[in-house]
Amino acid sequence: MRKFYLIILLLHFGFLILFSEYNNRLGVHLLYCDPGDDLGRIEQVISKAKGIKAGWVRMGFIWAIANPYEGKYDFEFYDWFFKRLKEEGLSILVSFAFTPHWCSSFEDSEEYYLYPPTADEITEGRNGYFYLYEIAKKISERYKNIVNYWEFWNEPDMEYFLKDSNGNGTSADEYSKMLAFFYKGIKDGNGRAKVLIGGLAQGFYEHSCDNDYLMKLYTDKKYPALKYYDIHNIHTNFKSLKDIKRQIELNKNIMRKFNSLKEIWITETSYSPVARFQNLENYKGGENGFNQYVFDSLVFELLNIKGVVFWTPLNDYNYDYPEDNPYKYNGLFSFNLKGKEASRIFKIISLFFKRKLSFF
């Protein structure tokens, strides 16, 4: 199977490498790289990402931690981390999410961080959306020489990541408004920066996923989402190649209906090496099925979009993470950062798709 794909690559798709906007279109999603985490381990994580020739890293920026109180900011960790990533030559995609307690629309909820900011006045006519704009502007301006790609939220179409605050049965209207304020802040801080819509899960078979979400975002009367982001973004976790193709075409067709065809990125691709979680017929058998999926999915996606593709995660989750979570062992490395066969597969693909190595 791998030899077949490589032949197809060599014969038909070299031009995608040569004419791509990006020198390297393959990235990894970093875990356990947040404020308070061990800096020595984070240095090792950076080294592993660089070692497998990832061109990009996707990392979280937690609003609730960086802005714990009104008017109080703590950027010390992000200052250090962004600087280290830049020093190592890694391009950065920052995924911004999670509302602080003090400006959440449901501040008394244990899951306050999953709710949109409050539309009510907090102080001097300023509400939670104003403060969302304010921090977006601050970080965009602060890191304008390091970070130029900002993803707003993660899988907002999943109720697990963004909750409906006004009781109308969807968070799409809240997300559209949030996206508009975030976009304006990022652009006011750095006019060269690009905003990605939060990666849409679009789980065709998941009841918790709102599969009409994108249409709701585009048809929002006050804040039509198409105006407020630059790069489209989807997640393809545990999907067959057929369903990945279907998902890409679905998004393109919806964009075409609105006379737009934004560049598509895939900021999460994932699968499990654990046999009981392997839901795809062609990718069973434990590690062998996992390795084949890493190869097939990444190559397939790189050939079917022009943007960047990320494997999630770089390394496994820690020992305390529930064993019944299908994402626990999906890393290219173990939790202890020991390389799996999948890390070598990733490196081969990354080297092939690096534009500077193209001979076409």
List the domains of the chain with CATH numbers.
15-357 (3.20.20.80)
What percent of the chain is modeled with pLDDT above 90?
89
pLDDT band at 69 (very low <50, low <70, confident <90, very high): very high
- Is residue 10's pLDDT more than 50? no
Sequential DSSP letters for 149-208:
EEEEEE-TTBTTTS--SSSSS-SHHHHHHHHHHHHHHHHHH-TT-EEEEEEB---TT-TT
The pair of structure tokens assigned to 104 is 């959440």
**Angle, alpha carbons 291-32-347 (nearest 5°):** 30
Put simply, whether the predicted model's pTM sits higher than 0.75 gets the answer: yes
**17, β-bridge pairs:** none
Predicted confidence (pLDDT) per residue in 109-136, tens digit = 999 999 999 999 999 999 999 999 999 9
What residue type is assigned to position 169 of the chain? G
- Is residue 205's pLDDT more than 90? no
Mean pLDDT of all residues in 196-205: 91
**Distance between CA atoms of residues 170 and 159, nearest Å:** 9
Q: Which residues touch 293 (CB under 8 Å, ≥6 apart)?
A: 271, 280, 283
- Is residue 72's pLDDT more than 90? yes
Q: Please tell me the predicted confidence (pLDDT) of residue 20.
A: 55
What residue type is assigned to position 317 of the chain? Y
The pair of structure tokens assigned to 233 is 């973004």
- Is residue 61's pLDDT more than 50? yes
Q: Please tell me the predicted confidence (pLDDT) of residue 23.
A: 76
**Distance between CA atoms of residues 348 and 192, nearest Å:** 32
Q: Please tell me the predicted confidence (pLDDT) of residue 11.
A: 45
What residue type is assigned to position 282 of the chain? N
DSSP assigned state of 117: B
Q: Is-contact 157 200, C-beta < 8 A?
A: yes
Q: Please tell me the predicted confidence (pLDDT) of residue 2.
A: 52
What percent of the chain is modeled with pLDDT above 70?
92
**Distance between CA atoms of residues 293 and 285, nearest Å:** 11
Predicted confidence (pLDDT) per residue in 249-276, tens digit = 999 999 999 999 999 999 999 999 999 9
Predicted confidence (pLDDT) per residue in 11-49, tens digit = 444 544 444 566 799 999 999 999 999 999 999 999 999
Q: Please tell me the predicted confidence (pLDDT) of residue 18.
A: 45
Mean pLDDT of all residues in 77-91: 98
CA 129 remoteness from chain centre: 22
Q: Please tell me the predicted confidence (pLDDT) of residue 12.
A: 44
CB hemisphere CA count around 15 (13 angstroms): 2
Which has more confidence, 328 or 358?
328
Q: Please tell me the predicted confidence (pLDDT) of residue 1.
A: 52
DSSP assigned state of 333: B
**Distance between CA atoms of residues 63 and 53, nearest Å:** 30
The pair of structure tokens assigned to 245 is 């193709």
Q: Please tell me the predicted confidence (pLDDT) of residue 74.
A: 97
Mean pLDDT of all residues in 338-343: 98
Among 172, 146, 138, 179, CA closest to 158: 172
Instruction: List helix spans (H) across the chain.
Output: 2-12, 14-18, 39-51, 63-66, 76-87, 128-142, 172-189, 213-218, 241-257, 287-304, 341-353
Torsion angle, alpha carbons of 289, 290, 296, 297, to 10:
130
Among 193, 186, 192, 307, CA closest to 252: 307
Q: Please tell me the predicted confidence (pLDDT) of residue 354.
A: 77
Q: Which residues touch 220 (CB under 8 Å, ≥6 apart)?
A: 172, 173, 176, 177
Q: Which residues touch 339 (CB under 8 Å, ≥6 apart)?
A: 48, 52, 332, 333
pLDDT band at 88 (very low <50, low <70, confident <90, very high): very high
First vs last C-alpha separation in the chain: 23
- Is residue 148's pLDDT more than 70? yes
Which three-class secondary structure state does DSSP give residue 122? strand
pLDDT band at 204 (very low <50, low <70, confident <90, very high): confident
Mean pLDDT of all residues in 217-222: 98
The pair of structure tokens assigned to 262 is 């934004």
Instruction: List helix spans (H) across 21-124.
Output: 39-51, 63-66, 76-87
